[in-house]
Amino acid sequence: NLYANSIVALDAATGRLRWHRQLVHHDIWDYDLPAPPALVTIRRGGREIPAVVALTKSGLMFMFDRRNGEPLFPIEERPVPPSRVPGEQAYPTQPYPVKPAPLSRHTAITAADLTDVTPESRAFCARLFAQFGQSGGAYTPPDTVLSVWFPGTLGGATWSGASIDPASGYAFVNVNEIGAIGMIRRRRAGAAAPEWERWAPGGGYARFWDDKDLPCTQPPWGKLHA
């Protein structure tokens, strides 16, 4: 997993590695970098820094000096929950930039957060929520019980990435606010390898939404950040 979920800088003339930064360790959530990074010049302390801005589906924005990979804001390795799946070992920490703050919700969903957009949607989502053995925030590992975690596989930041206006210095990023649901279960006897599979009602990479694909959490279901 050395270069997975990473920004990798190569020398264009030789192809040699210049630097790399892994932004998600041992990705068991589908928290990949969904869009190409943005190249921008950042002005700090009276000097110009050629920078690269990268986003993740967990809604984090990382900024590096693209000459050497040094972060422009400190990055902390913060503890995250361990996996309880037999044979799995989740990475014990994940990188968080000190600035900016996460662009997406990173906290667990509770029954009080369920949608009230329509009575039908709320009833469906309440029945689904009652099936969960675990509700967690970002980097909560899939478990052997049906779980929901937030943000989900649709983000956070999405495939549109960031647009940066050099005149104003603003970065514009749209994010989704949709949870993911799933569990890790043993395959049926006689099934092809591997022994375990990711499963959820609606598919292995199901989202926390109702039977009409309306998110089960209260709006807003997406945000545009500047």
User: Looking at the annotation, which residues are catalytic?
Assistant: 30
Q: Pairing between strand 6-10 and 17-22?
A: antiparallel
Cα torsion through 202, 30, 99, 75, rounded to 10? 150
Ramachandran assignment for 190, one of left (phi > 0), alpha (psi -120 to 50 degrees), beta (any other): left
> DSSP states of 15-33 as a string?
--EEEEEESSSS-SS----
Query: Which pair of structure tokens corresponds to residue 198?
Result: 């990711």
The dihedral sign for the CA sequence 4, 162, 152, 143: positive
